[in-house]
Structure 1
Amino acid sequence: MTEAKKPVKLLSGGNPQIAKGDGDGPVQDWIAAAPGWKSTTAAGVDGLVMRLLPDVQKAVRWNSPFYAAGQGWFLSMHCFTRYLKLTFLNGAHLSPLPPGPSKDPNTRYLDIYEDAPPDEAQLADWIRQAAARVGWNGF
């Protein structure tokens, strides 16, 4: 007999509380628990990353999915009340710059709103660029 999964707690802004873990499983748990349209959008981002980088590493840390290529972690996602935030950990080195500035000089953000999906071609270009650069190795 299999044990039923407990419901996932949503933190401030609706971000899913998912235990720290490595691999696709915890990331898929986070995506499934993201509320409403954010789950669908996060699944789309995850699918795009997988199409571009089939060997990408995945993990959940600090209740957020992270993606790494051979040179470190380059992308993460986080749910907020009205948007899904993509964090390019080396985004200050991308061209053109992702629109959201950060206090960290290396980081740039892309906020995705329900009624304003991202330009998939531009997002794919940023993902390719970010994965090819030296990423963050903080955990």
Structure 2
Amino acid sequence: MAAKEPRLLSGGNPQIPKGDGDAPVQAYITAMPGWKSRAGKRLDKLIETAVPGVRKAVKWNSPLYGADGTTFFLGLHCFDKYIKVAFFNGGSIQPRPPVESKDPDTRYFHVHEDDEWDEAQLSDWIKQAAALPGWKP
């Protein structure tokens, strides 16, 4: 019997069971629809390169990345037209990621289908975020 495909929630966000480690994150990335899966793989690789040994988990249908054993510094989430990269302590990153949040500590970077990314800038934000105190779920 073939494995059941994950259900896509609002905005095409994959419904993936909570779990720690790389496997649930890869299941999420694989289930991201269309171009978002390719972008998710690229983001995941960039995060792994910027933060060797990064801790991964899926909680609340979003991949989370941490630099220690208890907190997370970054999360991904699919929306209809973009992927939201959430820097949980992004208000302390310089220069700040471009999209504001209702929470003054959190900043976002949105990835759209045809965007050109400044990978050096994104990698710098990731490294800075990993060095800051993380968010504890």
* 2:8 match: 10
Q: Match for residue 31 of structure 2?
A: 33
**Other-structure match for 2:117:** 118
Alignment partner, residue 84 of structure 2: 85
Query: What residue number does 2:73 align with?
Result: 74
Give the number of equivalent residue pairs: 136
Shift in Å at residue 137 of structure 1? 1.1
What is the distance in 1 between the residues matched to 2:116 and 2:135?
26
Instruction: Detail structure 1 runs of 4+ shifted over 4 Å in the superposition.
Output: none
Q: Kindly state the Cα deviation for residue 118 of structure 1 after the two structures are TM-superposed.
A: 2.0
Q: Which range moved further: 9-18 or 115-124?
A: 115-124
Cα separation, 2, equivalents of 1:78 and 1:17: 11
Q: Deviation string for 1:22-47 (max 9, x for gaps)?
A: 00000000000000111000110100
The equivalent residue for 2:98 is: 99
Shift of 1:52: 1.8
What secondary structure does 2:72 align onto? strand
* One-letter identity of the residue aligned with 2:54: V
More displaced, 46-55 or 23-32?
46-55
The answer to whether structure 1 residue 46 and structure 2 residue 44 are counterparts is: yes
Give 1:51 shift: 1.3
SS of alignment partner, residue 66 of structure 2: strand
Aligned equivalents of 2:131, 2:62: Cα separation in 1: 22
Unaligned runs of 5+ in 2: none
Q: CA deviation at 1:108?
A: 0.3
Instruction: Could you tell me which runs of 5 or more consecutive residues in structure 1 were left unpaired when the two chains were aligned.
Output: none
Q: What is the aligned-residue RMSD (CA, Å)?
A: 1.1
SS class of match (1:73): coil
Question: TM-score when scaled to structure 2?
Answer: 0.96
Identity of aligned residues (%): 55
TM-score (norm 1): 0.94
